[in-house]
Amino acid sequence: MKGQLIVRGLGKRFGGLAAVDDCSFEVVPGQVVGLIGPNGSGKSTVFNLITGAIRPDRGRVDYAGRSLLGLPLAVVAAGTVGLLVYPVLIGPLQRRLGKRPAGPLFLVLTLGLSAVMQNSMLAVAGGEYLRVPLLMCGGVDLGFTYVSNQRVIILAVACAALAALFLFLRYHRQGAAIRAVAQNPVSAQVVGIPLTRIFTLTLGLGCGLAGLGGALIAPLFNVYPTVGFSLTLKAFAITILGGMGNVLGALIASFIVSLTEAMSVLVIPSEWSNAIAFGLMIAVLLVRPDGILGRRRR
């Protein structure tokens, strides 16, 4: 009989201490399994890893053979949704508004779309917490700390995606058109750049990158319909901190925020770490209103 709960190669380290190392077992329906050992042997950690209270550094836990879709499909699905946003929602609103400023309305519209999508997923799939398997088990022991391979993959793929985005915006014809529309949409339209196509492409590209990021970090969290809300707010703070429209500024800001959050837990309670991004954003904007690498518009 196939196991209802399957634990394979589960491992967890806290700094230099290995709390759980290569734990594997199966539980079939109707079977009772007990974990026996002295205090400090990792029993509670195993239970927390299985229930998703903390994330494992390596190994995987499968329940009833349930798995989630892979990385490429997440990128394609999110990008497809992004391609539909402008022609279906933003474009009609822009035509109805005419020459009236619509920036705040677009923000409210996309936030409303996000709320609709989250609540639709909640109604269809329920609020059950799911877990995504790690892309690669194991990790790198740096002596003073332990970094899982999943986080190394996230760093590598994020840097590669950001470099590809920079090269696309810098050297590709469509990338140059996106930059031209961002600087002056009226002049861009005068020289023959189709605004509708560029707006649609930009939204599709942005949503595709968001799907890539979500698929990469999903194994680090318990997945549920509203899991991305707090991360979206933090990404917004990083974008403002680095400078609107500046790719290099966003990269620098992300490193500043992440390192500051990681180091802040040494002096302040971890519950306050989520406020670091917005605190930094406010402090920088008081000194540089256009962000770290943002250019002042005249």
Q: DSSP labels for 125-163?
A: H-S--B----SS--EEE-SS-EEEHHHHHHHHHHHHHHH
| Per-residue pLDDT at 68 | 34
22, 45, 63 - which closes a domain: 63
Least confident of 34-48, 55-69, 214-228, 241-255: 55-69
| Per-residue pLDDT at 69 | 38
pLDDT score of 294 more than 50: yes
Q: What is the three-class DSSP state of 62?
A: strand
Residues 52 and 143 occupy one common structural domain: no
pLDDT score of 52 more than 70: no
| Per-residue pLDDT at 296 | 59
Q: Which two tokens stand for residue 239?
A: 């974008």
Q: Answer left, alpha or beta for residue 52, where phi above 0 means left and psi between -120 and 50 means alpha.
A: left
Least confident of 29-33, 80-84, 153-157: 29-33
208, 227, 246 - which closes a domain: 227
Mean pLDDT value across the chain: 79
How far apart, in whole angstroms, are the C-alpha atoms of residue 39 and residue 17? 15
Domain encompassing residue 45: 5-63
Residues 223 and 112 occupy one common structural domain: yes
Residues 259 and 193 occupy one common structural domain: no
pLDDT score of 187 more than 70: yes
Is there a contact between 285 and 244 (Cβ–Cβ < 8 Å)? no
Residues 277 and 209 occupy one common structural domain: no
Residues 99 and 214 occupy one common structural domain: yes
Mean pLDDT in residue range 149-169? 86
Contacts of 179 by beta carbon, 8 Å cutoff, 6+ apart: 169
| Per-residue pLDDT at 67 | 42
Q: pTM for this structure?
A: 0.68
Mean pLDDT in residue range 86-109? 77
| Per-residue pLDDT at 232 | 81
In what side-by-side order are the strands of the sheet with 58-63? 17-27, 5-14, 58-63
Residues 36 and 77 occupy one common structural domain: no
- Hey, which of 101-110, 122-131, 202-211, 278-287 has the most confident mean pLDDT? 202-211
Residues 234 and 223 occupy one common structural domain: no
Mean pLDDT in residue range 67-90? 76
Residues 102 and 214 occupy one common structural domain: yes
Confidence label for 112 from pLDDT (cuts 50, 70 and 90): confident
Residues 218 and 79 occupy one common structural domain: yes
pLDDT score of 298 more than 60: no
Confidence label for 269 from pLDDT (cuts 50, 70 and 90): confident
Mean pLDDT in residue range 190-213? 89
Number of domains in the chain: 3
